[in-house]
Amino acid sequence: MAAIEKVGLIGAGLMGHGIGKNILLKGFKLTVLAHRNRKPVDDLIGRGATEAKSPAELAAASDLVITCVGNSPQLEDIMRRADGVLAGLRPGTIIADCTTAQPQSTEALAAETAAKGGHFVDTPLTRTPNEAEAGKLGVMTGGDPAILARIRPVIDAFADTVVHCGPVGAGHKVKLLNNLLALAAAAVTVEAFAVAKKGGVDLNALREIVTAGGANSVMFQRLASYHLDGDKSQLQFALANAQKDLRYCLQVAEGAAVPTPVAAAAHQLYTLAIGMGYGERYVPTTLDALLSLGQKPV
């Protein structure tokens, strides 16, 4: 089979911009599709990318289509609508989905893609926009190893860790479990910070002792950097997405008949923050939501 030369990218957002930038730097031809924010798209066009007017047009121009959108309903719309990816798909084209998606939806879209003569693999991401820009993301893959081998040079353009997890959908299941571990850790860290702030505990002292012991974690350090150092580049992940990821994980757990009380509690914390108007804010602001509870109205 011919090597991948032309790549299409749908979803040039916080993570997608870095993906697209590094794909261009490695010499691949890139076609992009604008969504809500033109700034990253315009930057990629300035670096040599071409803009498509629809998902169908992008798919028709690509050997590989990378999707990196917010959730499964968004991806299903991009794939299935009249001018969607499936409408423009050429036989042999590969779709690699970086969305943190619902595994059942992934499996259904893979079947629809196969019926059109294409190939669908799941390639969800780990780490942050900082690593996306640096080309050092982690990627979990699900699907045919032969297809994944064909697109590996493209993945290597923006990732330094690639783990094959199994058949289509397996990558998304591992991603959801990874996010359960991270987001549950973030939830309990936020609660500890809230108690510390209201209980008169020195947060710097708390960080120093946690850093030196078994309670330390990447998530703790990101939240500490955000709240103690004012580093707003840490954990640029919307609360609405955190809640969605845990909801998808709870659905997987329910299908496996496994009780997940801790995941459910973390999900409810983020749901609470969203109900308070924090949905578009980043995960660290859950602390602000907690601290505002019980305050007397002005």
Q: Cite the active site residues.
A: 175
Nearest Cα to Cα of residue 57 among 38, 37, 34, 36: 34
Q: Is the dihedral of CA 119, 159, 166, 235 positive or negative?
A: negative
Tally of CB atoms within 10 A around 30: 23
Residue 97: beta bridge partners? 67, 122
Cα 206 to Cα 4: distance, rounded to the nearest angstrom: 50
Task: Name the token pair of 110.
Answer: 């893979």
3-state SS assignment for residue 28 = coil
**Integer distance in angstroms from the first to the last C-alpha of the chain?**
67
Structure tokens belonging to residue 84: 């969607």
CB of 186 within 8 A of CB of 273?
no
Residue that the structure tokens 């359960």 belong to = 180
71 contacts 244 by C-beta, under 8 angstroms: yes
Joined together, the tokens standing for residue 175 give 């991603």
Q: In whole angstroms, what is the distance from residue 110 CA to residue 97 CA? A: 10
Buried b (16+ CB within 10 A) or exposed e, 42-68: eebbeeebeebebbbbbbbbbbbbbbb
DSSP annotation of 285 reads G
